[in-house]
Chain A
Amino acid sequence: DVKVTQSSRYLVKRTGEKVFLECVQDMDHENMFWYRQDPGLGLRLIYFSYDVKMKEKGDIPEGYSVSREKKERFSLILESASTNQTSMYLCASSNPPGQGNEKLFFGSGTQLSVL
Chain B
Amino acid sequence: EDQVTQSPEALRLQEGESSSLNCSYTVSGLRGLFWYRQDPGKGPEFLFTLYSAGEEKEKERLKATLTKKESFLHITAPKPEDSATYLCAARGGTASKLTFGTGTRLQVTL
* Residues of A bordering B, CB below 8 Å: 4, 31, 33, 35, 40-45, 48, 50, 56, 58, 90, 92, 94, 96-97, 102-109
Contact status of A103 and B49, CB under 8 A, knowing A58-B97, A94-B96: yes
Among B11-19, B59-67, B98-106, the stretch that binds chain A is B98-106
- Residues on B with C-beta less than 8 A from A94 are 96
- CB pair A97–B103 under 8 Å, yes or no, is no
Within 8 A of A (CB), among B74-109: 87, 89, 91, 95-98, 100-103
In the complex, chain B residues whose CB is within 8 Å of the CB of A33 = 96
A104 near B44 with CB under 8 A, answer yes
A90 surroundings in chain B (CB, below 8 A): 43-44
Q: Which B residues are in CB contact (< 8 Å) with A4? A: 43
Residues of B within 8 A of A43 (CB): 44, 87, 89, 100
- In chain B, what residue has the closest Cβ to A49? B96
Q: Please determine whether B96 and A108 come into contact, CB atoms closer than 8 angstroms.
A: no
Q: Out of B34, B41, B103, which one reaches A103, CB within 8 Å?
A: B34
When distances are taken between beta carbons in the complex, the residues of chain A under 8 Å from B98 are 45, 104
